[in-house]
Every structure is written in C-alpha cells, then in structure tokens.
Amino acid sequence: MVEAKKPHLPSAPASESFKRQARAAFESLRDKLCRRLEQFETVARFQQTPWKRTAEPKQSDQGGGVMSMLCGDVFEKAGVHTSTVYGQFSEEFRERIPGCEDSPDFWASGISLIVHPRSPRIPTAHMNLRMIATGRSWLGGGADLTPMLERQRNNETEDAIVFHTALRGVCDKHNPDYYARFQEWCDTYFFLPHRNEARGIGGIFYDYLDSGEREADLAFAEDVGAAFLQVYPRIVEAHIDEKWNEEERREQLHRRGRYVEFNLLYDRGTIFGLRTGGNVEAILSSLPPLASWS
Amino acid sequence: MVEAKKPHLPSAPASESFKRQARAAFESLRDKLCRRLEQFETVARFQQTPWKRTAEPKQSDQGGGVMSMLCGDVFEKAGVHTSTVYGQFSEEFRERIPGCEDSPDFWASGISLIVHPRSPRIPTAHMNLRMIATGRSWLGGGADLTPMLERQRNNETEDAIVFHTALRGVCDKHNPDYYARFQEWCDTYFFLPHRNEARGIGGIFYDYLDSGEREADLAFAEDVGAAFLQVYPRIVEAHIDEKWNEEERREQLHRRGRYVEFNLLYDRGTIFGLRTGGNVEAILSSLPPLASWS
C-alpha cells in the first residue's frame, strides 16, 4: 500500500455551497462522459445503480452514490461512478488525514472512471476527481492511460503524445509548476514494485491540492475532466476500426492481470474504500472483465 | 492483511540435521504430488525452474527454490513449489516473528501447491507446509478446497465430505484437539471480509506448531501432505469425465476472481513474500490462468 505523507493544509473549512458546487461539477462531468462513451456503442447503454453508505456507526444519512456501468461491443466494461459521502473517520484514519485534529467529521465527493475496451489496440483509461473536506479541504485526482500491447507501452506513440499533451495543456493553463509535479506523482504512484514496472504510460496524479483559491482548484479539476472527455474518445477513435488477433488478445489479458495486481495490492482508493465501508461493487468495478495469469 | 498474533514459543532452536530432514520431506512430497497429478494428463508434464533468493543485503548464498508448473488438459494451471531460504529478517519482520529477539537470522523451508483445474466441476485446491527456524522453530501449513460452482459451496457435497474426513483423520491421529482448532483457523483465515464470504469450503490451517516434540510435528506435516496426496486426486477422479457448460465456465471464472481478491488483498504468504524479496513468479503463480469480474 502506498502511504501518503500527511501534509500541512492551512485553509479554512469549505462552505456548504462550495461543496454543492463541487458535487454538481462531478455529476455533470459524469453525465457528459457517459453520453460520450455511449456514442461509440450501437446498443449498450450505461445502467445506473444508486447506493447508500452504511458504515459503522450507523446513522440516518451518510450519503451514497451512483454506479454507472456499461458492457458493450467497444467497451467490454466501463464504469463511471460518483459518490458523496459523509460521517466520521475512525481513529485509524483520523491520524492519517489532514484537518481531523479537532473533529473526525468528513465530507467527500468524487467521480471515478475506468474503461476496459474490448479491443487490445485501445488503451485502458482511468480518471478520478475528488474533493475532501475535514477541518480543512482539498482536491485531488488525475488521469492515466494503460496501453495493453507491449509495443504501445512507451511515450513515443501517437496515443501517448495526444494524451500527455492534453493534460499538459490543462496543467499549464492553471500553474506552470503543475505538469512536472503531477506527471511525476503519477509515474511514482502507478508503479508495481514487485514487477519493477509501470502500470501504464502515466498521465497526471495529484492530491491535497489547496492553493488558497478554492474556486481555482475546482476549476482545475473541471478542466482535467474536460480534457479527458476530449482526449480519450480521440484515442478510441484512432483504433476503433483496427482488427486485432488472438495473440494481441492474450497480451491484453496478461496486461489486465497486472492491472488487477496494482489495484488490489497498492491502490490507496481501493484499500481505503474497502476498509471504510465503501460500496464494494463500485470499488471493485475497476477490475477488468477478464484477466489472465498464464 | 491478516496479522497473526506473535505467540510465545518455548522450544530451543532446531538442529541442522532436523532442518535437512524437514526439507527432504517437503521435496519428497513435491515429487509425489507432481507424479500423481501428471497421471491425469496425457501429454503435459511439470516443468521445473530453479531460482535463487537475492534479497537485500546481498549475500553469497540465501537459498532459493524450485518452481514446478504444469499447464495441461485437466489442470489448466498447477504449481507445486518448494523453497529453502535463509538470511536475516528486516527490522519490520523481526518485531512480528517469534524467536528474533536475539538475532535476525532465519531459516525457512516449505512446499506450496495450487491447482486450478480446467473443469468448473473440479474444485481448486491449495496445500502448504512449512518449517521456520529463528531462535525458535515451528511448523505450519494446511490444505483447503475451493469449489467453483455455487451449488458445491457447502459441506454436504461428497467432495467436501471426503476432503474434511481425510483431514480429520490425520488430525485425530496426532492430537484430539487439532481438528477443531485447525478447521476453525482455516475458516477464519480464508475469508473475504469485503465480500462477507468464505473463499471455499475450508479444510485445515495451522501455524506456530511447536508441541515440544519436533519429530512428531514434522510427522504431522508429512501426514497432512500424504492425506492431501490421497484425497485430492480422488475428488478430481469423481468429476473428470463430467461434461460442463458455458454457464459453469462463467461461474468458475467469477469464482476465480474472488480467489485473486483473497490472495492479493489478504494472503499473508503472498504479501510476506512480495515484501521480503521472494520469487515473484512463484508467489503469484497461485493466481488463476483466467479470471473474470464481469
């Protein structure tokens, strides 16, 4: 498990209206992403399943979320989930999370996307944006790409270039330091030490973002989402008419096995979610429809 | 991750000759298991791959092991691994492992078997035996069965009855208390809290066994191995001629997904091995050839 350092965050708690604004932004992005991905499918549509959080200690209302899942011809398995949850952190988490010195109360809202295309030629994609509020508040998220074929696992491919360029554009618009930091953070985070290999070709990853201008931080998150909404469909389109063979399918299933290893052995979100009474189906919906270790 | 309580073990260190005896027992059992499983296959044979341990700090000799893997018609993926490794535990492990108060030196030898049959009608099996020596020494191990089909996931099936009866027989021969304790330990250990379900139908699991009669403890381990060698082939034979359908195959792949979740999220041996410079290929060879989360 990757443990994050607990940073010092100076800002004051977020207002209720700002929380509503962040939540609305994530849910609006969810709708756009689902509609855009559905355009590639002839029949399949996202199925939405709402859920409620029921962690210990039980309360009348702890929030919940909506799972949106699609199993189609182009996308073998795609999930776009939003959730807004609140309550109290356990003692274990209080010690590790900023702003919990005076109170265990937390509020968290976010969107999480994972797409496992059927074609081994189309890279798997992951995107996540979130806002957390305790005594402090901050934003986090990122987007990264995992090509399935060995020959695609480098930054010289057209896919890699358009993906990184899109994310660099968003970062540079907001802060000249963001891209270098967030790209490196992504490479460090999405790494499998036991295999000594990267999960994919990276992207950006950031957490504990609290620049002092909350509206700007949310605008950055929205821009990351908007950039992903533009660039990933472009990568899908580039490969959608390509034929693939059984050898490529085998390579894809093998690569997906490594994806499973990362998510279950190291992913903070997965482990955090499973230990805090998150929605197991939503958390583990990131796992691929089929994977091999042969 | 399941953390074991650190028990008090009163016995003296094991002699070199006893260590050799334990290692020889595990390697002899490995040979018998491989030959027995091969009898079900027309063409496929176990392929052996020796490996050497190279953990930090590097030494001239830290032991190693032999991976034996078979991919066949009956057994889609089977691994029977032995290893004998030695060196020094890291500070982190010293604190958690008995007998390391005066020295970080350890010696460990063991055998580990995992069989993923191709037929969804034939249960997946796991068996493991090991001896650890630090300032103390003890034995551990067990065997458990994971049927793939929902209708087989109970203790009323013929498979479950013969499996549990064989293990009860071994336990009762050695100590009237063993079976109840080790069966319960197995059920507690092979459990997926996030799914609130058992991995399979259980068997036995034990650790830190140091009865004061070391020869008897090793004889118990050998008898567990011998019982498994008898009973699992009997379960394979019971189903080998049964036809299965696509729906059963889907159920098997789904159940194997849960097997992956257990091994990567909770299995002590897997996490221990990955963190101590074990052989990644051998450790993760327990993962199924194909699994689904659809």
CB–CB of B293 and A274 under 8 A? no
Q: Residues 6 or more apart from A176 whose CB is under 8 A from it?
A: none
Tokens representing residue B9 in the block: 């073990």
Question: How near does any CA of chain A get to the CA of B220, in Å?
Answer: 33
Q: Is B143 helix (H, G, I), strand (E, B) or coil?
A: strand
Residue A261 forms contact with B (CB below 8 Å):
yes
Catalytic residue among B8, B81, B116, B126: B126
Band of the pLDDT at A60, cuts 50, 70, 90?
Answer: confident
Q: Residues 6 or more apart from A61 whose CB is under 8 A from it?
A: none
A8 part of the active site: no
* Confidence (pLDDT) at A3: 41
Looking at residues A160-181, what average pLDDT do you find?
98
User: Complex ipTM above 0.90?
Assistant: no
* Confidence (pLDDT) at B279: 86
Of chain B, the percentage scoring pLDDT greater than 70 comes to 95
pLDDT tops 70 at residue A11 = no
- CB-based burial, B174-209: b 16+ in 10 Å, e otherwise: beeebbeebbebbbebbbbebeeebbbbbbbbbbbb
Looking at residues A146-163, what average pLDDT do you find?
98
- Name the pairing type of β-strands A137-146 and A105-117: unpaired
How far is C-alpha A194 from the geometric centre of its chain's CA atoms? 23
Question: How near does any CA of chain A get to the CA of B75, in Å?
Answer: 12
How far is C-alpha A215 from the geometric centre of its chain's CA atoms? 21
CA of B287: which chain A residue's CA is closest? A293
Contacts 24+ apart (CB under 8 A), A36-40: A36/A229, A36/A233, A37/A70, A37/A75, A37/A78, A37/A80, A37/A115, A37/A233, A38/A70, A39/A233, A40/A72, A40/A74, A40/A75, A40/A233, A40/A236, A40/A240
How far is C-alpha A202 from the geometric centre of its chain's CA atoms? 12
Low-confidence ranges of chain B (pLDDT < 50): 1-4
Within the 118-147 window of chain A, which residues sit less than 8 Å (CB to CB) from chain B?
A: none
A293 closest CB neighbour out of B288, B293, B294: B288
* pLDDT, tens digit (0-9, with 9 covering 90-100), for A222-256: 999 999 999 999 999 999 999 999 999 999 999 99
Tell me the C-alpha distance between A214 and A17, whole Å. Answer: 12
Tell me the C-alpha distance between A10 and A191, whole Å. Answer: 30
CB–CB of A291 and B290 under 8 A? yes
Taking CB atoms and an 8 Å cutoff, what residues of chain B touch A265?
264, 271, 274
Question: How near does any CA of chain B get to the CA of A146, in Å?
Answer: 18
Burial (Cβ within 10 Å: 0-12, 13-18, ≥19) of residue A121: buried
Residue A77 forms contact with B (CB below 8 Å):
yes
Band of the pLDDT at A150, cuts 50, 70, 90?
Answer: very high
* Confidence (pLDDT) at B102: 82
Measured between alpha carbons, how far is residue A163 from residues A8, A54, A230, A244 in Å? Answer: 32, 38, 10, 22
Question: How near does any CA of chain B get to the CA of A99, in Å?
Answer: 27
A274 closest CB neighbour out of B77, B194, B280: B194
> DSSP assignment, residue B154?
S
* pLDDT, tens digit (0-9, with 9 covering 90-100), for A65-86: 999 999 999 999 999 999 999 9
CA of A267: which chain B residue's CA is closest? B265
Catalytic residue among A81, A116, A126, A174: A126
Tell me the C-alpha distance between A288 and B140, whole Å. Answer: 35
pLDDT tops 90 at residue A89 = no
* Confidence (pLDDT) at A54: 81
